[in-house]
Amino acid sequence: MSHFTTDILIVIEETKPTIIVEFIHQILQQNKFNIQTNDLSFFCLDELQNDEHLEKDYDIGREVQNPVEDLEKLKSHPGGAISYETIKKERLLVGFTSTNDITINGITFYIDPHFAERNKDLFDNIIKNIKKVFNIHGIIKGNDIFDNLSEETEIENILNGKINEKYKYVID
C-alpha cells in the first residue's frame, strides 16, 4: 500500500502565531530546510470564522511567491501552511492550526513517508526542540491520517485527554 504523507500532529499550549511560526522556521533552518519556492511550493492562510477583512486568497493554496512576505503573513495569522525543502529537494509541509482563531495550538508536519522513515531521528529531534520551549499536550503520527480525521477534532481530543491511541506517538 502506498501512502502520500506521514503526518505528525504536535499539540502545544496556545501560542501566538508570531512566536510559534518563527520558532519552527528557525528550527527547520537549523536542520537545513528552506522555504520552498518552486512550482511545487505551497502556501495558504486558514479562513477564520469571524474575519471582517477576509482576503480572497484565504484557505486557497498557492505557490510561495515571496518567502519573506509569505512567512510574515503566516506569522500574523492564526493558521495556515507553508512548504519547506532540503538541498536534496525533500519536501515538508508545515501546517499551523488554531482552534480558537486567535492562537496556534497544533503544528502538523506532512512528510513523504520514505523521507520520514529515513530521517526519524531528525524529526524526533525537531520535536524534542519544540518540547524544550513549549508545553506539548500530545503527539499523533501516522500515514495519511488526516484523509479521514480532522486536525481540529484531534487537537480538541488531545486537549481533553482523549488521545487517539491508534496514532499516539511518544518520544523519549
- pLDDT, one tens digit per residue, over 66-76 is 999 999 999 99
**Pick from 126, 127, 109, 137: nearest CA to 14:** 137
Q: How far apart are CA 144 and CA 48, in angstroms?
A: 25
Residues of the chain with pLDDT under 50: 1-2
Asked if residue 163 belongs to a domain, the reply is no
Q: How far apart are CA 169 and CA 161, in angstroms?
A: 14
Asked if residue 169 belongs to a domain, the reply is no
Asked if residue 157 belongs to a domain, the reply is no
Asked if residue 161 belongs to a domain, the reply is no
CB 141 within 8 A of CB 167: yes
Give pLDDT, residue 1.
40
Asked if residue 82 belongs to a domain, the reply is yes
Instruction: Give residue 98's domain range.
Output: 6-103+113-142
Asked if residue 125 belongs to a domain, the reply is yes
Domain count of the fold of the chain: 1
Asked if residue 148 belongs to a domain, the reply is no
Place of cell 526519524: 120
Asked if residue 135 belongs to a domain, the reply is yes
